[in-house]
Amino acid sequence: MTVIESVRELGKAIQKDERFIRYAKAKLQSDSDNELQAAIGEFNITRMELEREASNGEENNVRTKELNEKLREIYGKVMSNPVMVEFNTAKVELDQMMGEVNVIISKVLDGEDPETCTTDSGCTGSCSSCGGCH
């Protein structure tokens, strides 16, 4: 079996994993939730308006403050939407799984035994002491 064939098998295994399935379902639900998509669209338009207003050089003007408040309000609405909460939770779990996969691949490329290397990246959580992301 070639490396590419093995990667394709890994892809199949990832797609069968419950974390991927949960993410795919949450993404589909998020993409088809009209209320959520409308709020995201409103957020993006408001953000563009705010950027345009801020580029005028008058960052403390009343309109900028209004747009900032509106943006925070819409963001809160989007992020508290149950569909978005589920999507974000599922994405975090999928990202964690993929992080573990990437750690193993990196360790194998550094010469470690693929059968025994751990998924511990050695990350302390403090970026100030870090030599780069795993």
Find the radius of gyration of the CA atoms of the chain.
21
pLDDT at 125: 57
pLDDT at 108: 93
Rounded distance between C-alpha atoms, residue 100 and residue 92, angstroms: 12
Provide the whole-model pTM. 0.78
| Residue, of 130 and 35, whose pLDDT is higher | 35
pLDDT at 54: 81
SS3 115: coil
Region of 95 (left: φ > 0; alpha: ψ -120 to 50; beta: rest) is alpha
**pLDDT tens across 72-120, in order?**
999 999 999 999 999 999 999 999 999 999 999 999 999 999 999 988 8
Using alpha carbons only, what angle is made at residue 99 by residues 96 and 105, rounded to the nearest 5 degrees?
Answer: 150
Rounded distance between C-alpha atoms, residue 88 and residue 118, angstroms: 26
Q: Are 8 and 14 a contacting pair, CB within 8 Å?
A: no
SS3 118: coil
pLDDT at 2: 96
pLDDT at 64: 87
Average pLDDT of span 10-37: 97
- For the chain, what is the mean pLDDT? 90
Rounded distance between C-alpha atoms, residue 119 and residue 44, angstroms: 37
Rounded distance between C-alpha atoms, residue 72 and residue 64, angstroms: 12
